Amino acid sequence: MKLVLATSNKGKVREIKAMCEDFEVVPYTELIDEFEIIEDADTFKENALLKAHAVFNALRDDSVIVLADDSGISVEVLDGAPGIYSARYGGEDATDKDNLNTLMKNIKKTGVVSSPAFYTAAMAIVTKDIHRTVHGWMYGTALTEAQGEGGFGYDPMFIPLGFDKTLGELDDETKRKLSHRSKALSLVRKILKTL
Ligand code: ITT
């Protein structure tokens, strides 16, 4: 089965490919030119659907299965921020590093060195006949100092529950076993089986 990913985030592509070795996984940017998708919905779920529909329509191929991932980190001491705004937390053209530094700085400003936090991944599957969404979560602690270089995005500042190292220090295999993305993907698989 071929899955077209509605993402241009290389970290997501790498992780989804590693978790779906039994599928042919192709980022949409290998099939058509990358284009901007305005993610202006209020929830992870609606933004995931928006991305999946945009790519499905752009591909002009009724036989494709499109998978989108909208995700982010929510920090308790910041009342759930950045949440759906995770990709642009450090500004319009922010890099992953800018976002990471902004989040650590803003947690520090509240006077703490760490805070409970969680990642959310909403995934949308769109075909010519269906559009479905699922969610996965990963709980843990957000730090004010980055540790390690592994993973992507906010991983160097996030310690998953039950561990004493950040996702920047833990190996890819460990993240794969417990991540929000892998939990959502296990539900995606159940839906794909019904197609
Ligand atoms: P697409 O919309 O093209 O998929 P994006 O990077 O803009 O790519 P999102 O809008 O879903 O994706 O934003 C997700 C943000 O949350 C982004 O800054 C990621 O780096 C971060 N993020 C999501 N999952 C993550 C993970 O597993 N580890 C670290 N950071 C993550």
Reported as a single tens digit per residue, the pLDDT across 131-154 is 999 999 999 999 999 999 999 999
Reported as a single tens digit per residue, the pLDDT across 86-129 is 999 999 999 999 999 999 999 999 999 999 999 999 999 999 99
For the Cβ of 166 lying below 6 angstroms from any atom of ligand 1, the answer is: no
For residue 70, what pLDDT band results from cuts at 50, 70 and 90? very high
Amino acid identity, residue 167? L
Residues in the chain: 195
User: Looking at residue 1, what is its pLDDT?
Assistant: 80
Please tell me the distance from the alpha carbon of residue 190 to that of residue 95, in angstroms, as a whole number. Answer: 34
Q: How far away, in angstroms, is 70 Cα from ligand 1 center?
A: 7
For the Cβ of 99 lying below 6 angstroms from any atom of ligand 1, the answer is: yes
Reported as a single tens digit per residue, the pLDDT across 168-189 is 999 999 999 999 999 999 999 9
Q: Is 61 a catalytic residue?
A: no
Please tell me the distance from the alpha carbon of residue 121 to that of residue 132, in angstroms, as a whole number. Answer: 14
User: Looking at residue 183, what is its pLDDT?
Assistant: 98
């417990």: which residue's tokens? 178
User: Looking at residue 149, what is its pLDDT?
Assistant: 94
**pLDDT over 90 for what percent of the chain?**
96
User: Looking at residue 41, what is its pLDDT?
Assistant: 97
Q: How far away, in angstroms, is 65 Cα from ligand 1 center?
A: 21
Ligand 1 closest atom vs CA 39: 10
Q: How far away, in angstroms, is 132 Cα from ligand 1 center?
A: 20
